[in-house]
Amino acid sequence: MKKLTKYLLSLVLAVGFFSCDEKFDEINTNLVDPTTLNPLFLLNQGILDMRYRDGGSSLQDLSYNFGIVQQIITPFGSSLAGANYNQLNLSNSQRIWQNTYRNVLKNTVDAVEKSKVNPDNTNLYHSARIWKAYAYMVLTDTYGDIPYFEGAKGFIEQIVSPKYDSQETIYVDLLKELEEATAGLDPNKASSTSEILYGGDPLKWKKFGYSLMLRAAMRLTKASPSKAETYVTKAVAGGLISSNAENAVLRNTSVFNNYIGVHLGAREKANYYLTEPFVNHLKTNEDPRLESIAIRHVGATNGPSQTISRITRDPDLQIGMPMGHDDVSINSVLAENGVVSLWDYSQANIYTVLKVDSPQFFLTYSQTQLLLAEAAVRGWVQGGAATYYEEGIKANMEQMAFYDLDATVSEQAAATYIANHPLENEMALEQINTEYWISSFLDGSELFANFRRSGYPTLEANPYTGSEITGNFIRSMPYPDSETVVNRSNLQEAISRQGPNNLDRRVWWDQP
Amino acid sequence: MKNKVLLLFLTMLWYGQIYAQNNSITGTVRDASEEPIPGTSIMISGTSQGTVSDIDGKFTLKAAPNSTLIFSFLGYESQSINIQNRTTINVTLNVNDIGLEEVVVTALGIKREAKTLGFSTTTLDGELISENRTPNFADALQGKIAGVNISSMSTGPGGTSKIRIRGQSSFSGQNNPLVVINGVPMDNSNYSLGGNFGNRQLNNSDGGDGLLSINPDDIETLTVLKGATAGALYGSRAKDGVIMITTKSKNASKGLGVEINSNFTTDTPLDFTDFQYEYGQGEGGVRPTSSYPTSGVWSFGERFEPGMTQILFDNEEWPYEPVSGRIKQFYNTGVNWTNTLTVANSGDNGGFSLSFANTDNKSIVPNSKLNRKTINLGFSQNITPKLVASGNANYSHEENQNPPQVNAQDFSTATVIMTLANSMPFEALRNNITYPNGDEIVMARFLVRNNPYYSTSKRFDNVKRDRLIGNLSLNYQLTPWLYAMGRLSMDFYVRDNDYNTPNGYAPIPPAPAGFVNGSFTQDTRRFRETNHDFLIGANRAFGDFNIDLTLGGNQRFVRMDYNSVAVKDFVIPDLYTVMNGRVKDPLYSLSEKKINSLYGLGEFSYKEWLFLNLTARNDWFSTLAPANRSIMYPSVATSFVFSQAFQNLPEWLYFGKLRMAYAEVGDDNVSPYSNALFYAVDNNLFPNPDGLPSPLGRINASTVPNTNLKPLRVQETEIGMELRLFDEKINLDFAYYRKITNDQILATQISDASSFTNQLVNIGRSMNKGLEFLVSGSPVRTNNFRWDASVNATYNTSEVLQLGVSEADTMITVSSGGGRILRQVVGKPIGQLYTFTYLRDDQGRMVFDENSGRPLRNDEPQNMGSVLPKYFGGVSNTFTYKGLSLYALIDFKLGHKIIAGRNQNFLRHGLHKNTLNGRDQGYVIGDGVNPNGEINTTRSLIQPFYETTNVLGINEDWVSNAGFWKLRQVSLSYDFSKHLPDKLFIKKLRLSGVANNVLILKKWTQNMDPENVSVTSDNANGMDFWPSLPPTRSLGFNLNVKF
């Protein structure tokens, strides 16, 4: 009996050891992953992600942005349909939305919040604010009204169904943000050279911030000319990017790739072509950049026969693919175009501008100079429009060498081109913005935005017979279906403010 | 907590104090065949005194000369014998052959008499599982158990089996029941698509679940505890029911026995497609006339005419003619062969069962196979008459080679075969796999639609798992009425998985100079779950009353380590090692979780016909916020055997019982560390402008964490009745249950503009209710012939009662893609399917775009009904004539919807018969109006027209009744035993011909078997899109020999 009691007692003691939740906090602590991070790392990631995390994300540029401005097109439909047929392709029209919010803004906004509270990190804080403005500008330019004030706050403020803000108010805030952030950058304060865009240099960030302000201001030439002028003036006074060395550029590597290059170098290698309007424009104007940009696999009859031995970069042999065809109807124009198959048209050069480690430009000296040229034409800045214009062209010619030495445009060739294309007063806006079009090659969202704003270059409407749009060109991207599904009432409010959610809808600054 | 310990202590003391002395009585307990019955409980009526018979069935005890002894042993009829001054009493106990005293293994491995249970359970005999089997044995349970809905995945022999008991209770994707082996929970996490673990890199195979490690031949019985009450003692893990597997631990009869079971089946792929074979491959109405352009996966070419030719991707001229039977042309006949050798012994002091088994499953997909070797040891040994040691160890070694890629494009043979142009000769594919340098030969302009022969020969995916599940328990019978049990158990596995993207795979970019492209991933997971538990049980009778108390505790600890290295580009071609890679990306994660529990069970009975069961369990979860960590689950169940309570019932009412139960259980239902946001630093550095390698880091989550999660709670009420009528010719069992699930923890889809894709929330209330019927019996029983029939049917419905915090939150989206949307909607059953529909005018006419002529859609997705079956069940009949027995099972699921979305693919690829409209004229004019209300006259090109529904996410054409009736199993067996000469060493020989998934009797979906799915998540229910592997019919035999 005593023995029994002993057994029982020890059992009861054993029970005592189960003291409920001892050490539970320890067990529920993740020993591997950090719960916070240096905001610098986050900003770096935000910058990197702006140019996509994979080939799939780049499909919005390929399917829409490049096609709308008629530089790169595919004749193929189905999952690649888009600007080539002027048709809705929801899986590709939502990619900038997804990538920018889910990746770029997630990390950038976190970097802003984390650096805001640290007085030693003001330069990082202001840099992150500028980057945030850059990302939001791409979003609103692409989609119109978007969640801005409540955007990217799923964790920070637990806002999971953010309200949409009108583009007008977004631009007011973007300009305010850029003004504050540029003013806040201070070369006398600490910064980290491990920042990937400008090595943490506050002065370069300042220049980038003002150049972005110039871009944002110029976006408003139709919608709010006075505000445009005000901020152009502020931007110029603040100091702009003054050489290609100060370009905002992503220096891709063999590890972190140029995903448009990855996509066009592999999965979509045989599917995308330079367009006839683009190639012909460069050809007609004897633009030396054509040799940097284009290749043609002469005589290729299918994808696999696009072999290296067929490649020519000779500008005279480049043939752009005419707009308005699918992969069957294109066969009816092959002979008149002088090609043997659709695989025989010119393509963006994956050995120069679109190598897997080719750099990608966010904002360039060339673009800035061309915007200044237009501002000068409008009388908003001092200096001759022609000077800015010429400098803008020259800068872009120089920029080619950054892609690959093989893409270098000689000074002589650049000078010749500039000499042959002087800025003419009556045509100034068209000339400037057509140059901007060439200069922004591969910068999809900027190409699309400036084309809508300026109306240049003068392009023919895509003649595809199955077009779904009522106007001549696609004016914005529809909102992703996921918003209809999970953020319906806020989306509805934005739609009722702007008009039907389709490819014809104009964003606020895009006034007829 | 402290109070509970005190209570336990006092209880023990109360039981311990009464002890007295009397005359000595001895005797032996035997069964009808004169075999001694050890372990028989012998109690002196009205006291707590008694003893247990020893290994020879002998007992000695002291009792008053006129007292009554009660002899009881599970499975035997109890006997009360008055001592009447005798000193020797020999007793013969009779087996309860009528089944009333049927013993059921319940939660924690506690054996209980069926009649005392106040809740519904179903037990299947091991033979029913092993004879006519499926590679994952759980699939063979389909249609056999009321309330249990099983879906087998079309993902190859190593695939996961999806089991749902009493419907989908929570809104989350995984509502898997707890699997318990010999009283100990096992980890049944699955590596399926939409399952518990995802893959790092491009890999869409189903890596299987835990049940895969079980050899069906080792199963003695399988019991399903359906409701929360039945599983209440398992607390948090029982919310979706419990599957309890008891493996063999000793020989069925006394002495040494050797058994060999051999099971051989072949799998034939089935084809449910009805494609158009009038127009061949090509695009825009043109057949391929030069290599590559329009060949591959498009069937929008020209009308087949005799003598036409086509030039395919191989630059060869082929006849332009239909190629039918695509499934039979590519897929093989699968072969499954399992051999099990079991050696078992049973003696006076215990016994053991040791088995070795080898299973080979060759998939229908070339180069895909599964091998499993298992060793199972079960034993039970009386160390002393009072101390019993028992244990089980199940070791399995699985090698799953190239589990098929499904639900994707890259490397998925299913996607390619099912979208392949209808005039593509397989010979062309077989002959053109790679160029001499090893690069892939592309056969379609969708580079990710690979030549299936390339996918199955150049890509590899190896899964290896070594798993040991075991437990060891000591049971000490302290006194005849008190026992204590301690148990240690462990489930441990190491799972290695490696897979590649081959060098020269066309959709990936070339590597930098000096390297070849491709990628390789090597994963290792180490999993360990330990459970320490103890039970103290006491039983005491007071006249007509009996009290049975059990107290126990459990400590559960789970840890998983995950190491992985993914590399890209290689120095040496075709050498897939992590060292050979150029860019390396290592990963390590660790997850730990602990749950402590205390529980108690009290059973009170009166006169063998009224039973009351009370249980309480308290769980503490490490995964939840401190304030919400502790939760108590009570349950109460009663059983009233009215056939025994009332004496004057009619004779035909052989047995009747009413039962009623209520229970609460809960679940943390979140993975560890869900309460915080984590960051990750990139393994590789990115250069700053001066080339200085600089760090990158990101928020490592797409789900917004929640720091205040509470456990979800399930409250379930169940009533039921069991009747055995007319000499057991008819047995009826039915149950009604109502289950309310509160505070569900779920990842809802949120706006991308929040920067996250999901939010973990603690919201919502839903209700499941249903009826389960089981009618079984033997309508005909003669000496030579017997007909056994069994019908089970389940009606299950659910309703979402509340979502979110405000009244306005009436809808959440759990998943969406391609216009296929799955939602939870207040007031509707769980799992509402939505999709976009065609825009129609007031008169119901379709509206077409004026410019393109393509159909337009409604802006808002429309409701299409629930994806969960309302009715399911099975009808089985067994006819036995002498030694010959024929078994057939028909099962059904009805009352639910599916988007048979693969038809969207068949449509846009020109295979669907709907695409014949307009082919002859080369354009389509949609039948309807334009947005201005005028009759539509715009011509649309064929291909874009049939692409529209895909581009716009209009799936209304493919919404279909997902129900079916199937002839699931047929087996014909003959027992040769009685023809064997007596002297032969073979004692038993039984041969069966078996057939599984025999025939679809009725279905509604076009071009597919509605069960043909490959994603296990409940959030993918009804949302078909990419074709799955073809379903298979298996035929074979099972041979069972006993020596």
**pLDDT by residue (tens digit) across B35-53?**
778 778 787 877 767 787 8
Taking the CA of residue B876 and the nearest CA in chain A, the distance in Å comes to 44
Q: Hey, what amino acid is at B207?
A: G
- pLDDT per residue over A480-501, tens digit each? 988 987 898 999 999 999 999 9
pLDDT at A170 over 90: yes
For residue B451, what are the CA distances in angstroms to B318, B428, B502, B975?
17, 10, 13, 49
Q: What pLDDT digit, counting tens, does each position of B501-532 carry?
A: 999 998 888 898 899 999 999 999 999 999 99
pLDDT band at B13 (very low <50, low <70, confident <90, very high): very low
Whether residues A361 and A425 fall in one domain: yes
Contacts of A271 in chain B (CB under 8 A): 445
Domain end call among A326, A348, A370: A348
List own/partner pairs for A330-339 with CB under 8 A and 24 or more apart: A330/A75, A331/B286, A337/A276
- Using the predicted structure, report yes or no on whether residue B431 has a pLDDT greater than 60: yes
Nearest to B598 among A18, A79, A268 (CB): A18
B1000 and chain A in contact, CB less than 8 A: no
Residue A462 within a domain: no
Residue of B7, B481, B618, B752 best to disrupt the A interface, most CBs of A under 10 A: B752
B283/A485 Cβ within 8 A: no
Residues of chain B neighbouring A63 (CB-CB closer than 8 A): none
| pLDDT for A319 | 97
Strand pairing class (B697-699; B679-681): antiparallel
Q: Are B457 and B500 in contact (CB under 8 A)?
A: no
Residue indicated by tokens 């007793």: B91
* A369 inside domain: yes
Report the alpha-carbon distance of residue B872 to residue B875 in Å, rounded. 10
Q: What's the confidence (pLDDT) of residue A10? A: 54
Q: A277 and A229 in one domain? A: no
Are A176 and A74 members of one domain?
yes
Distance from CA of A198 to the nearest CA of B (A): 6
Boundary residue ending a domain (A348, A381, A409): A348
Nearest of B170, B25, B163 to residue B84 by alpha carbon? B25
Q: Are residues A50 and A134 in the same domain?
A: yes
Partner A contacted by B454 (CB < 8 A): no
CATH number reported for the structural domain that contains residue A228 in this entry:
1.25.40.390
Residue reference for tokens 């895509």: A462
Q: Evaluate if residue B70 carries a pLDDT over 50.
A: yes
Closest-approach residue (CA) in chain A for B679: A34
Instruction: Give pLDDT tens digits for B944-999.
Output: 899 888 888 899 999 999 999 999 999 999 988 888 887 778 888 889 999 999 99
Q: Among B1, B512, B756, whose Cβ lies nearest the Cβ of A154?
A: B756
Residues of chain B numbered 808-847 and touching chain A (CB < 8 Å):
813, 816, 818-819, 821, 834, 836
Taking the CB of residue B82, how many other CB atoms lie within 10 A of it?
13
Q: Which chain A residue is nearest to residue B850, measuring alpha carbons? A: A468
Cβ contact (<8 Å) for A28 and B818?
no
Q: Say which DSSP state B889 is in.
A: E
pLDDT score, position B14 = 41
How high is the pLDDT of residue B354?
93
Task: For A450, list phi and psi in degrees, rounded to 5.
Answer: -70, -30
DSSP state of A57: G
* Chain-chain contact of B692 with A193 (C-beta, under 8 angstroms): yes
The average pLDDT across A149-164 equals: 93
- Chain A residues closer than 8 Å to B861 by CB: 484-485
Report d(CA A240, CA A381) in Å as an integer. 13
Counted domains in chain A:
2
Report yes or no on A318 lying in a domain: yes
- A414 and A444 part of one domain: yes
- Quote the DSSP letter at residue B434: B
Residues of chain B neighbouring A304 (CB-CB closer than 8 A): 292, 441-442
What pairs with residue B964 in β-bridges? B893, B1003
Contact at CB, A265 and B446, closer than 8 angstroms: no
* Tally of CB atoms within 10 A around A122: 19
Q: Is the dihedral of CA B417, B422, B427, B431 positive or negative?
A: negative
Q: What distances in angstroms separate CA B678 from CA A124, B698, B708, one per listed residue?
A: 21, 9, 17
Say yes or no: A228 and A127 in one domain.
yes
Nearest to A161 among B694, B751, B941 (CB): B751
Contacts of A496 (CB under 8 A, 6+ apart): none
A3 — pLDDT class (breaks 50, 70, 90): low
Q: Mind listing the pLDDT tens digit for each residue in B715-763?
A: 999 999 988 888 778 889 999 999 998 888 777 788 999 999 988 888 7
Is B513 near chain A, with CB under 8 Å?
no
Interface contacts (A, B; CB < 8 Å) = 349
CB pair distance less than 8 Å for A162 and B753: yes
> Per the CB < 8 Å rule, is B947 touching A101?
no
Instruction: Give pLDDT, residue A4.
Output: 52
In sequence order, the 6+-apart residues with CB closer than 8 A to the CB of A287 are: A281, A417, A438
Q: Which residues of chain A have a CB within 8 Å of the CB of B702?
A: 102
Nearest to B678 among A4, A24, A35 (CB): A35
Report the pLDDT value the prediction gives residue A7, as an integer from 0 to 100: 55
Q: With an 8 Å Cβ cutoff, are A7 and B5 in contact?
A: no
Copy the structure tokens of residue B286: 């043109």
At A14, the pLDDT band (50, 70, 90 cuts) reads low
**C-alpha to C-alpha distance for A384 and A376, rounded to whole angstroms:** 6
Within 8 A of A23 by CB-CB distance, chain B residues are 594
Q: Tell whether B587 lies on the interface with A, counting CB pairs under 8 A.
A: no
Residues A194 and A250 in one domain: yes
Nearest CB among B478, B582, B688 relative to A195 is that of B688
A393 shares a domain with A252: yes
Contacts of A254 in chain B (CB under 8 A): 512, 582-583
- Rounded CA-CA distance B336/B266 in Å is 6
Q: And the tokens for B866?
A: 């629930």
Q: Answer whether B678 sits within 8 Å of A161, measured CB to CB.
A: no
Which of B695, B816, B852 is facing A485, going by the closest CB pair?
B816
A8 and B13 in contact by Cβ < 8 A? yes
- Inter-chain residue contact B293 with A485, CB threshold 8 Å: no
Both tokens assigned to B80? 């009360």
Q: For residue A75, tell me if it sits in a domain.
A: yes
B873: its two tokens: 């069940």
Phi, psi at B202, each rounded to 5°? -55, 100
CB contact under 8 A, B754 and A154: yes
Q: Do A106 and B755 count as a contact with CB atoms less than 8 A apart? A: yes
- Indicate yes or no: CB of B750 within 8 angstroms of CB of A486: yes
Would you state the pLDDT for residue B6? 43
- Distance between CA atoms of residues B336 and A407, nearest Å: 60
- Looking at residue B17, its pLDDT comes to 40
Which of A408, A433, A454 is at the close of a domain? Answer: A454
Look at A107 and B698 and tell me if their CB atoms are within 8 Å: yes
Query: Do A245 and A167 share a structural domain?
Result: yes
Domain coverage including residue A283: 270-348
Stretch B309-314: mean pLDDT: 91
Give the C-alpha separation, A255 to B694, whole Å.
13
Measured in angstroms, the CA of B497 and the nearest CA of chain A are apart by: 22
Nearest Cα to Cα of residue B104 among B1, B236, B235, B225: B225
* Same domain as A343, residue A397: no
Decide: helix, strand or coil at residue A199: coil
Among candidates A45, A90, A200 on the partner chain, residue whose Cβ is nearest the Cβ of B697: A45
Q: Is residue A238 in a domain?
A: yes
Q: Is the pLDDT of residue A29 over 50?
A: yes
CB contact under 8 A, A27 and B16: no
- Per DSSP, the residues of B919-930 read TTTTEE--SEE-
Element (H, E) at B658: strand B653-667
Asked if B892 and B909 touch (Cβ cutoff 8 Å), the reply is no
pLDDT of residue B1: 42
User: How buried is A460 (Cβ within 10 angstroms: 0-12 exposed, 13-18 middle, 19+ buried)?
Assistant: exposed
Do A466 and B286 make contact, defined as CB atoms within 8 angstroms? no
Cβ neighbours around A312 below 10 Å, total: 15
What's the pLDDT score for residue B4? 46
pLDDT tens for B882-933 read 889 999 999 999 999 999 999 999 999 999 999 999 999 999 999 999 999 9
For residue B695, give the nearest of A41, A153, A341 by CB distance: A41
CB contacts of A488 in chain B (<8 Å) are 860
Largest interatomic CA distance in chain B: 108
Tell me the ipTM for this assembly. Answer: 0.93
Residue B678 to residue A482, Cβ atoms within 8 A: no
In a domain, A241, yes or no: yes
Residue A132 lies in a domain: yes
Residue B1026 near residue B297 (C-beta atoms within 8 A): no
Structure-token pair, residue B916: 């014949």
Dihedral of CA A353/A357/A363/A365: which sign?
A: negative
User: Å from B624 to nearest chain A CA?
Assistant: 8
The more confidently predicted of residues A296 and B652 is: A296
Strand, helix or coil for residue B232: helix
Tokens 């699921």 sit on residue: B893
Q: Are B535 and B598 in contact (CB under 8 A)?
A: no
Give A485's contacts in chain B (Cβ within 8 Å).
749, 813, 816, 821, 834, 861
Taking the CA of residue B702 as centre, how many other CA atoms within 13 Å lie in the half-sphere pointing to its CB?
13
**Is residue A326, in this structure, part of any structural domain at all?**
yes
- Count CB atoms within 10 A of the CB of residue B330: 23
Give burial (CB, 10 Å; 0-12/13-18/19+) of B94: exposed
Nearest CA to CA, how far is B748 from chain A (Å)? 9
Residue A45 has pLDDT above 60, yes or no: yes
Residue A339 sits in the same domain as residue A399: no
Backbone torsions φ then ψ of B898, nearest 5 degrees: -140, 145
All residues of chain A having their beta carbon less than 8 Å from the beta carbon of residue B748 are 486
Give the number of residues written for chain A: 512
Mean pLDDT taken over chain B: 87
How many whole angstroms separate alpha carbon B176 and alpha carbon B167? 10
Residue B253: is its pLDDT beyond 80? no
Task: Tell me: do A365 and A431 sit in the same domain.
Answer: yes
- Name which of A5, A155, A159 is nearest B677 (Cβ-Cβ): A155
CB crowding B420-432: b at 16 or more within 10 Å, else e: bbbbbbbebbeeb
- Are residues B290 and A341, on separate chains, in Cβ contact within 8 Å? yes
